[in-house]
């Protein structure tokens, strides 16, 4: 005997029937639980799902994968600022006629190639309640290299024979390692005094492999033209909104003192 095509205990779901409507509602509610990475909706700002140091919101904003720890914004782990467009970029040209910047001037939106071969935006370091040390240097500069060695291993022997050295600056390498401030070295000339090139930061990093220091190549020599520095090393400190807290065209004394004042001696 042929079995009936429809059991009385499994009624056919007709469109519009109560069971059909219930099923459609269930499917709709499940489909509403979407992945922010694929839905286009911004995720929670505080969550770091893949544990790579960038929040899901930062990765969503930058276009990387918040669910893949190998997909990061910067290989160096540098900060990322989703609100950098809010900073009024003064540009480079306005200083050509007006002279060097003054205290409180906003740092231009500099982009340089780092030691991992990636372009890094200086404004990504803004907005984190952390001051920024700008170390303008060249490869041929002996005191620049001495400071790099000191920041790498904390040994004052690298710098203590220079006439500008002060023992009160001793905590700075440790403070930088702890993240009390960002240190960015910007190289604008090579060992022969020629313009910096794309891989110069990588070569510098091979000699001074300090993981918490960002090294950037200024291949267009924007920084020394803007600052109009008269010697190197030249250090300046920026606040969290990229404004100059010091304004020096040569030397690092004021910038080091400013860092100690802002952070304090641990």
**pLDDT tens string 19-65:** 444 444 444 343 433 454 455 567 767 899 988 899 999 999 999 98
> What are the structural domain ranges in the chain?
16-73, 84-263
Fold of the domain built from segment(s) 84-263: Glutaredoxin (3.40.30)
Predicted pLDDT of residue 34: 43
Predicted pLDDT of residue 254: 97
Instruction: Give the other-Cβ count within 10 Å of 257's Cβ.
Output: 15
Predicted pLDDT of residue 93: 80
Name every residue whose Cβ is closer than 8 Å to that of residue 92 and which is 6 or more positions away in sequence: 108, 222, 225, 226
Give me the residues of the chain with pLDDT under 70, please: 1-41, 44, 94-97, 265-266
> How far lies 41's CA from each of 26, 34, 46, 222, 245, in Å?
22, 9, 15, 38, 38
pTM for the full predicted model: 0.83
């Amino acid at each position: 005997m042929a079995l009936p095509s429809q059991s009385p205990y499994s009624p056919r779901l007709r469109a519009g029937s109560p069971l059909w409507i219930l099923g459609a509602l269930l499917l709709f509610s499940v489909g509403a639980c979407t992945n922010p990475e694929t839905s286009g909706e911004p995720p929670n700002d505080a969550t770091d799902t893949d544990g790579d140091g960038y929040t899901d919101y930062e990765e969503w904003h930058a276009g990387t994968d918040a669910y893949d720890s190998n997909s990061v914004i910067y290989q160096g782990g540098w900060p990322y600022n989703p609100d950098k467009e809010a900073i009024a970029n003064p540009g480079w040209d306005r200083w050509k006629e007006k002279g060097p910047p003054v205290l409180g001037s906003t740092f231009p939106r500099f982009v340089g190639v780092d030691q991992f071969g990636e372009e890094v935006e200086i404004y990504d370091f803004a907005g984190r309640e952390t001051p920024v040390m700008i170390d303008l240097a060249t490869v041929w500069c002996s005191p620049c290299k001495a400071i790099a060695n000191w920041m790498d291993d904390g040994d004052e022997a690298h710098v203590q024979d220079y006439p500008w050295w002060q023992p009160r600056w001793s905590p700075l390498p440790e403070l930088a390692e702890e993240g009390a401030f960002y240190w960015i070295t910007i190289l604008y000339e090579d060992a022969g005094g020629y313009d910096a090139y794309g891989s110069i930061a990588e070569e510098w990093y091979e000699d001074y492999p300090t993981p918490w220091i960002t090294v950037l190549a200024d291949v267009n020599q924007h920084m020394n033209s803007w600052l109009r520095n008269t010697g190197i090393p030249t250090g300046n400190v920026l606040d969290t909104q990229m404004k100059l807290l010091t304004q020096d065209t040569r030397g690092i004394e004021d910038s080091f003192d400013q860092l100690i004042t802002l952070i304090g001696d641990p």
